[in-house]
Structure 1
Amino acid sequence: MAAYWLARSRITDPVEYKKYTDLVPGILARHGGKVLARGGKYQIMEGPEDFHRFVVIEFPTHAQAVACFESEEYKAAAAYRRAGAGVVENVIVEGGEFTV
């Protein structure tokens, strides 16, 4: 079942953040990820307006999405933004309808 990596971000240093975003597409592709939305027009319908960039990435499985996020190559790329280039919230959610 497909899984989706959802990211919300606030960029504080565009130059350093670009070093991260330049590396990520290739890493995602090697793990089966497909970018569905990256940046672009958005409208916050409810909740805090803490973030101004939104990304949705589809993976064939939850395990592949988690493996990508935990990979050494992704950690190396993420080091650019984690060093102060931005604030990011990442969530990986499995697709489908589930009830509690």
Structure 2
Amino acid sequence: MAAYVIVGVDVLDEEAAWAYAAVAQPSVLSYGGRYLVAGPTAEPVEGGWDFARLVVIEFPTMARIREWYDSAEYRRAREIRADAIRVQLSFFEGAPPEGSPLPA
């Protein structure tokens, strides 16, 4: 079942953010990830949103997300972004196939 990485992002250092992206994006792709959303938050309709950008990445499975996140490639990207980008990052299981009951 597909799984997702959802990230709220605030860039504090634009130059470091570009360096991070140059390492992070290839790592995502090499683990089977694909970007579904990557950009400024358009318009919060209910509640608030504390981040300038939203990123949603789909992976084939939750196990694949964990492999990517713990990989040497992405560890390097995390080091680059340490003081340059504020993130809130979470992993989510995808919904079951249509017509299947949702888990409780």
In 2: Cα distance, 1:31 partner to 1:6 partner: 16
Aligned residue in 1 for 2:38: 38
TM-score w.r.t. length of structure 1: 0.89
Larger radius of gyration: 2
SS state of the match for residue 50, structure 2? coil
Q: CA deviation at 1:21?
A: 0.8
Unaligned runs of 5+ in 2: 97-101
Unaligned runs of 5+ in 1: none
Q: CA deviation at 1:16?
A: 0.8
Structure 1 stretches of 4+ with a deviation exceeding 4 A read none
In 1: Cα distance, 2:79 partner to 2:31 partner: 19
In 2: Cα distance, 1:52 partner to 1:40 partner: 6
Contact 2:5 2:57 in 1 (8 A): yes
Give the alignment's Cα RMSD to 1 decimal: 1.4
One of 82, 97, 103 as aligned partner of 1:99: 103
**Which one has the bigger helix percentage?**
1
Aligned residue in 1 for 2:73: 73
In 2: Cα distance, 1:58 partner to 1:49 partner: 21
TM-score w.r.t. length of structure 2: 0.86
Aligned residue in 1 for 2:10: 10
In 2: Cα distance, 1:96 partner to 1:50 partner: 26
SS state of the match for residue 87, structure 1? strand
The alignment of Structure 1 onto Structure 2 pairs a total of residues equal to 99
